[in-house]
Amino acid sequence: MKRFTGSRVLVTGAADGIGAASVTAFLGEGARVLAVDINPPRGDVPACHYEILDVTEANAPERLVASAGRELGGLDVLVNNAGICEVSPLASTDDDTWDRVMDVNLRAMFRLSRSALPLLRESGAGRVINIASISARFANDGMGAYSASKHAVAGLSKSLAAEWGQDGITCNYILPGAMIVS
C-alpha cells in the first residue's frame, strides 16, 4: 500500500518548483490532491483538482477549505508553499514591497491554516507542512523582507504545533535552500 492512500492534501504554490514536486509526490503515494496557485500549472497537469487563486485574497482561505471539503471530502494534509521573494536592500525596500512579501509568505499561510483547522481536526491526525527557507536561519544581502518572512514562518509553525498538538495535529516547517527550477 502507498503511504498516503486515501489522504486528502491541499498544496499552495503548486504551479512549479517545490509545490509541483509535492503534488506529484503525494499523487504518487496515493493521495487525492487539491493544487492551488496564482498561475496556471507549467507543463502537464497531474491528475488532481487545480485551482487558480491568489492566496492573499480576502476570501481565499474560506474558498480553499470549501473546495477541499467538496473536491476531496475533507483535509488531512495542508502544504503551505506559496511564496515570493523580492530582492531589495532594506534601506530601499518600500512599504508596499514589504507588505506584499509578508502577505504572501506569512499572512496567507496563517489565514489558510486557521481556516483549515476544523477539517484538520476532523481528520483525526491532521498535518500542516509549512515551507520556509534556509533564509529563516541565514540572512542574505538584499533579501531582508524575504528572510524576515521566513523567520516568521518558523515561529508560526512552532506556535501552531504547540497549540494544535493537543488535537492530534502536527505542524512542521521545512528549510529548503536555493534550487534550480526548469
Burial of 179: CB neighbours in 10 Å, binned 0-12, 13-18, 19+ = exposed
50 noted as active-site residue? no
Angstrom distance (rounded) from CA 23 to CA 59: 23
How many CA within 13 A on the CB side of residue 157? 25
Which of 4, 146, 164, 173 is catalytic? The answer is: 146
Rounded distance between C-alpha atoms, residue 24 and residue 67, angstroms: 19
User: Would you name the residues annotated as active-site residues?
Assistant: 146
